[in-house]
Amino acid sequence: MDDIFMELLETIRCEYGKPMIVTSGFRAPEYNAKIAKSGSTGPHTFGKAVDIHVLGADANAIIKLALEMGMTGIGVKQKGPHKKRFIHLDNLPNGDHPRPWIWSYNAKG
């Protein structure tokens, strides 16, 4: 994992004051190609992203802290089965999309 990203994530965790369950961190390019629209590249393949299992008001708290602390990519999946809900956080620089960039995932899966 990227050192700067991990320092930022740790700052968020300390401010949040609760454990954050990471369900996805670094991904090998081959695995990322199988599960993500970004193909064999993307923030997880650079060690600059995590998905955190979190629901409801706690999800809102993490999103707020992530924006305040400088995360630039925030993906929200808060529909569907509780065990599959998460918040994606990354700190990629400006690229194809102006950042910060926030998106939602569909409820399937």
- Domains of the chain: total: 1
Per-residue confidence in pLDDT tens, the chain, 109 aa: 999 999 999 999 999 999 999 999 999 999 999 998 878 888 999 999 999 999 999 999 999 999 999 999 999 999 999 999 999 999 998 777 778 889 999 866 4
- Token readout for 60 is 């809102």
Question: Tokens 């990322």 sit at which residue?
Answer: 32
Tell me whether residue 109 is in a domain.
Answer: no
Kindly report the backbone phi and psi dihedral angles of residue 35, in degrees, each rounded to the nearest multiple of 5, phi listed first. -115, -10
Please report the pLDDT score of residue 98 as a whole number. 75
| Domain extent at residue 87 | 3-104
The predicted pLDDT at position 38 comes to 77
Q: What is the pTM of this model?
A: 0.90
Measure the CA–CA gap between 47 and 101, rounded to whole angstroms: 18
For residue 30, tell me if it sits in a domain.
yes
Cross-strand pairs, 75: 88, 103
